[in-house]
C-alpha cells in the first residue's frame, strides 16, 4: 500500500479576532510569526524545531472547517507546563485542565490543557 500521508505541513485554526490571536500565539506563547503583516487578516506561526506551520484567520461566511473555539487535541511540547499555565493565567488566558502527571513508558509526563481567547484548546506536554 502506498503511503498517502508524508508529514504534517500545517494546522489551521479559525479565530474571531486576528490581532487578539497574534497577541496570544506570538507574545504569550512566544511563537515566531512568519512574515508578519498587520494589514493581512491572516497569521502564520512557525512551530519551533519543525517545518510545520500554525495558520490562523477569521473564518469566512461560506468557508468550511471548524468554527472558532472548536479546535482541540493539538499537542505542543513544552518543557514546563506548570510554568506555562502560570504565564497563560497571568495574561488572562484560560486553563481548561490544570497540570497533571501521568506515566508513559516509565517516564513522568506532565500535561495541561490551555485555551486561546476563542476557546480553541491545546495540550501542553512534557517528559521529565
As a whole number of angstroms, the distance between CA 124 and CA 84 comes to 8
For every one of its 128 residues, what pLDDT tens digit does the chain have, with 9 covering 90 and above?
667 567 778 899 999 999 999 999 999 999 999 988 888 889 999 999 888 899 999 988 877 788 888 888 788 889 999 999 999 999 888 999 999 998 878 889 899 999 999 999 998 988 65
Which of left, alpha, beta for 45 (phi over 0: left; psi -120 to 50: alpha)?
beta
Pairing of strands 121-127, 107-115: antiparallel
Residue 70, classed as helix, strand or coil, is coil
Q: How many angstroms separate the first and last alpha carbons of the chain?
A: 38
pTM here is: 0.81
**What domains sit in the chain, N to C, each tagged with a CATH number?**
10-59+68-127 (3.10.180.10)
Give residues with Cβ within 8 angstroms of 49, minimum separation 6: none
Amino acid at each position: 500500500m502506498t503511503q498517502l500521508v508524508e508529514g504534517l505541513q500545517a494546522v489551521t485554526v479559525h479565530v474571531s479576532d486576528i490581532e487578539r490571536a497574534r497577541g496570544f500565539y506570538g507574545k504569550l506563547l512566544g511563537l515566531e510569526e512568519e512574515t508578519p503583516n498587520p494589514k493581512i487578516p491572516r497569521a502564520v506561526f512557525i512551530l519551533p524545531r519543525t517545518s510545520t506551520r500554525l495558520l490562523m484567520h477569521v473564518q469566512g461566511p461560506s468557508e468550511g472547517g471548524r468554527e472558532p473555539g472548536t479546535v482541540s487535541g493539538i499537542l505542543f511540547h513544552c518543557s514546563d507546563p506548570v510554568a506555562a499555565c502560570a504565564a497563560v493565567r497571568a495574561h488572562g488566558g484560560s486553563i481548561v485542565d490544570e497540570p497533571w502527571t501521568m506515566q508513559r513508558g516509565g517516564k513522568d509526563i506532565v500535561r495541561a490543557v490551555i485555551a486561546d481567547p476563542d476557546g480553541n484548546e491545546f495540550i501542553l506536554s512534557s517528559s521529565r
